[in-house]
Amino acid sequence: MDKKGALIIISGFSGAGKGTLVKRLISDYDRFALSISMTTRAPREGEVNGREYFFVTKEEFEKTIAEDGLLEHACYVGNYYGTPRAYVEEQMAAGKDVILEIEVQGAVQIKAKFPEAILIFVTPPSVAELERRLRGRGTETEEKIQGRLTRAKEEVEFIPDYDFILVNDELEECIKDAVNLIDAAKSEPERSGELMSSLRRDLGVG
């Protein structure tokens, strides 16, 4: 059945483990496709253009906005990030559930444009655990860690705009929970427009 896929937004505090969660959803389930964002930030060591991001100049980014080539975009820590429209639309049309791993301002834009999008906010079970994970990376300065916690204070205010909070305590559980949430959300009548229309049509109630 060629049914249109869903649009799934995954956001979360830095240190929540959302990157690992998204990678596993993509590798474990054929039904998901991952949107690759465009950004003006410089590639980090090991990042490949077209794999982690499409790395572009500010001019290229602004040109893409002017051409309406992005579904949403936001400025985060001084750099632009945005979701290229074409890939998402193609994959959804092909029946894939497309995952956007984006920050909160972009998520709010998507919800305004696509009310049927499924918004999931990933968090560790507590702030103590968040701090433990940020420190446990061992690669961050205290200043950077404090910066991430300050950002978490801003981001927590956006959580009520999301459809679900997903606690990432144990990764395997979290992956299963994510899939269950997505399936449940897709079965809600307001997200089942095509099925509702065909039921109404076939019952002759317009």
Contacting positions for ligand 5GP (CB under 6 A): 37, 41, 72, 74, 76, 81-83, 101-103, 105-106
Burial of residue 142 (CB within 10 Å: 0-12, 13-18, 19+) is: exposed
Residue for token pair 């809600």: 188
The residue among 77 and 203 lying less far from ligand 5GP, judged by its C-beta, is 77
- The 8-class DSSP code of residue 46 comes to T
The residue among 78 and 115 lying less far from ligand 5GP, judged by its C-beta, is 78
The residue among 74 and 179 lying less far from ligand 5GP, judged by its C-beta, is 74
Q: In this structure, what token pair is assigned to residue 83?
A: 């979701």
Task: Tell me which residue has its CB nearest to ligand 5GP.
Answer: 106
Contact yes or no for 26/32 (Cβ under 8 A): yes
The residue among 5 and 82 lying less far from ligand 5GP, judged by its C-beta, is 82
Least distance between ligand 5GP and beta carbon 111 (Å): 12
- The residues near 24 (Cβ < 8 Å, ≥ 6 apart) are 171, 175
Least distance between ligand 5GP and beta carbon 16 (Å): 10
β pairing state of 79-84 and 37-39 = antiparallel
Least distance between ligand 5GP and beta carbon 103 (Å): 4
